[in-house]
Amino acid sequence: MIPREFIGKLSPAYRSSLIVAGFLLLLLTVHQNALAKGQESITIGWKTPANQPVCLAMSATGRFFGTVDKDGTVRFYNWNGRQLWKQRVEGATDLLIARNGQSVLVYSRLNPMRQVVYFFRSDGRRLWRHEVEGSVWSGSVSPDGDYAAVTSGERYIYVYKPDPRRPKFRRWRLDGIGYQAMFSADSERVVVGTSQEPALVCYDINGRFQWRCRHDTDRQYELCASADGRRILGILPATQHDPGLEFCLWDSGGKRLWKRSLDSFDARALISPRSQYVAISYASFLSHEGSGIIERKVAVYGCNGRLLWEKGGLFFNPYLVALSPKGSSVIVSDGERSLYIMDKRGKPLSKLILRGLVRKTISSEDGRRILLYCGDGWLYLMRVG
């Protein structure tokens, strides 16, 4: 990579020639690594036309998929991409799918005019419509598919059991606004990130308090949990005008294990299914004598917080998409039409070029399936293995 102190001095023509040379070198590296036996690769499982979805969703098993269009139309697909049903839900922005597709939760996020959650059955029939107090801030479904939860602007959390024969719910007050909720791996507890009283708080599904970890900032962590339930990853977002990225790892009891800070922004982070690795992509602004450039990188950390590898720069602008089934390798987009698998040393193993720009992505917990929407107007299911 070109030393940072020289970036601002490069002429446009010379800079362009270096970018072309770097791209060709990357392609050659991918081709050489593709000859290795036993590599992971990306293939297209199916594709179907899509109508500019604002939300993508996937069941925990990776066998059922859904989208929400700009006009609130909810679409539900099976494992081979066949649309099973569609329903117009006024104001809908988000949906979540239970493990085996037995129920689908739909809501309008942060909409004071739509303080309602809907549950649909796998055949598209509406099971339940329930009004909540305050705008819906977040939603979650339990790993076993038996429960769902939403948080509201009136500091409530609602935990639902959408049983087709007798749906029911329980709610309780939070100390702050629950901006995000997620279930534990055993589906017996729910962890809530709260603002105004900034903390991570854990309850059992009956509302009994378990533990609390307070923060010294009211910024909202973007949270995700490992599939084995042992770790919780949180990232504090930042902007180009106010860089100051922070990401933390907690154990399942709320004890913070480590924290890292970067002078960066526009980040996404994931944790591997067995809690061995944390992957993160981010952008940094480099300036020299009044001119500047945005540099992107992807990095992988071990469970102890040690940096294992970091790649990116002038020739390669990675955006994290997923962690592979083995956890140690990552799938990234180049911000345009290509997907790459990078191995445990950060070397590209394989590449797939799509027909349109990658707009939205979501991956399964085990990293074996990726649902993405591209600028060519198609919804793709990618398989990794």
**Dist CA 308 CA 323 (whole Å):** 15
**Dist CA 257 CA 58 (whole Å):** 30
**Dist CA 152 CA 136 (whole Å):** 4
pLDDT(362) > 50: yes
More confident residue, 187 or 215: 187
**Residue 16: in which H helix or E strand, if any?**
helix 12-34
pLDDT(41) > 50: yes
Q: What is the pLDDT of residue 31?
A: 44
Identify whether 90 is part of a domain: yes
Identify whether 14 is part of a domain: no
Question: Are the beta carbons of 157 and 190 closer than 8 angstroms?
Answer: yes
Provide the number of structural domains found in the chain: 1
Q: Which of 34-48, 276-290, 301-315 has the lowest mean pLDDT?
A: 34-48
Q: What is the pLDDT of residue 288?
A: 67
Question: Are the beta carbons of 90 and 72 closer than 8 angstroms?
Answer: yes
Q: What is the pLDDT of residue 2?
A: 44
| Among the listed residues 152, 155, 154, 146, the one whose alpha carbon sits nearest the alpha carbon of residue 186 | 146
Q: What is the pLDDT of residue 5?
A: 43
Q: What is the pLDDT of residue 30?
A: 45
Q: What is the pLDDT of residue 21?
A: 41
Report pLDDT digits (tens) over 223-250: 999 989 999 999 998 988 889 999 999 9
Across 257-261, average pLDDT: 96
Q: What is the pLDDT of residue 38?
A: 55
What b-and-e string marks burial along 296-310, b requiring 16 or more CB atoms within 10 Å of the CB?
A: bbbbbbebeeeeeee
- How is residue 4 written in tokens? 């940072």
Q: What is the pLDDT of residue 163?
A: 83
Residue 374's domain spans which residues? 26-384
Order of strands across the sheet with 126-131?
A: 94-97, 103-107, 116-121, 126-131
pLDDT(16) > 60: no
In three-state secondary structure terms, 303 is coil
Identify whether 19 is part of a domain: no
**Residue 151: in which H helix or E strand, if any?**
strand 148-152
188 Rama class: left (phi>0) / alpha (psi -120 to 50) / beta? alpha
Across 184-198, average pLDDT: 95
- 286: domain CATH number is 2.130.10.10
pTM: 0.87
Across 6-12, average pLDDT: 46
In this structure, which amino acid lies at residue 203? Y
Identify whether 8 is part of a domain: no
Identify whether 105 is part of a domain: yes
Integer CA distances (angstroms), 17 to 8, 293, 361, in order: 15, 17, 31
Report pLDDT digits (tens) over 152-169: 999 999 999 988 788 899
Identify whether 37 is part of a domain: yes
Identify whether 6 is part of a domain: no
Mean pLDDT, the chain, rounded, equals: 89
| Among the listed residues 322, 334, 319, the one whose alpha carbon sits nearest the alpha carbon of residue 368 | 322
Identify whether 18 is part of a domain: no
More confident residue, 178 or 364: 178
pLDDT(34) > 80: no
Percent of the chain residues past pLDDT 70, beyond the cut: 89
Report pLDDT digits (tens) over 64-106: 999 999 999 999 999 999 999 999 999 999 999 999 898 999 9
